[in-house]
Structure 1
Amino acid sequence: MKLVLIVYYSRTEVTAKVATALARACGADLERIQDLRPRTGISGFLRSAWQALRGTAVDIAPAMRNPADYAFVILGTPVWAGRMSAPMRSYILQQRPHFRRIGLFCTMGGSGGRDVLSAMADLCNKLPVASMCLRQKDVLADDYRVALTSFADELTVLQSATPVAVAKPS
């Protein structure tokens, strides 16, 4: 069994920047959720906010990695209109039976991060082992490294206490 998979959705690359840095810090595998419908321009922005407010699930590409193969799955989403992104909602609904333990993070332009993390945990039916909210302006200014290091350190401690299954020889 592998240890950590980081799954994220990013429309503007802010959440992607955090997910990539976190994967490097933890030695984790990385999977980006692929939305099947473009979200560019003002219409994409408005549709994103509307779907988040309504709690809509959307069509996403099939996952490339199986979260059941990992001891920890870290989920990252932007905050849209005070809610998790619709693509992240879709991923959780599809994959939650396969989650063993979860960690959560979000990026936000304004506020609502703690509520989003709580909603994600509820949707996963699991309490997170670690969580983190980051402001977009801090990520863009590279002023988030202390929070990222703290989050990664929490995961490292948990990883060292997690037994790894060893395959039996055939």
Structure 2
Amino acid sequence: MMQSDTRSWLQRQFKGLLLVVTASIILAAGFNTFRSDGIPWFEDWNARMRSRTLPEGISGISSEEARNLFQSGTALFLDARDPEGFVEGHIRGALNLPINQFGTAFPNLADRLSQAALIVTYCSDVTCDMSDELAQSLLLNGYSNVMVYLGGVREWEEMGQPLETGSVD
């Protein structure tokens, strides 16, 4: 008898919880649907991230533009990811300048960066904005010729372009 009462009580609690969760989902979906700034149900996040607003004074470049700059040797590529991501795979010849360690890492690389040279920052993929932050930090430190490669390592690899693995200099 006691076990039956407990089971019945648990079933009522579960039904109540299920009712609250269902009502919450319906209410949230309703509000989201009718809000002018609601979150889209389906969206191509890659397209949205490509059209993101970059910091003032900084341009984004496509995979083709990045490849052309790499092949011509006219740009220095800076990887904004942490050292672990850099070691796993980075654009050949790139330097690692993690945005989350900018204050300590930048002075060590500053002598290798020419303020007149073209610098291309990148990170993992189109959804990563660490490259935007790195470009802005460089701009604030007097580097005016900075661009962001929006596709990052993922698109670089998908294009069959060379990656390096190994330690940070």
Q: Same fold (TM over 0.5)?
A: no
Q: So what's the TM-score if we normalise by structure 2? A: 0.31
Larger strand share, 1 or 2: 1
Q: So what's the TM-score if we normalise by structure 1? A: 0.31
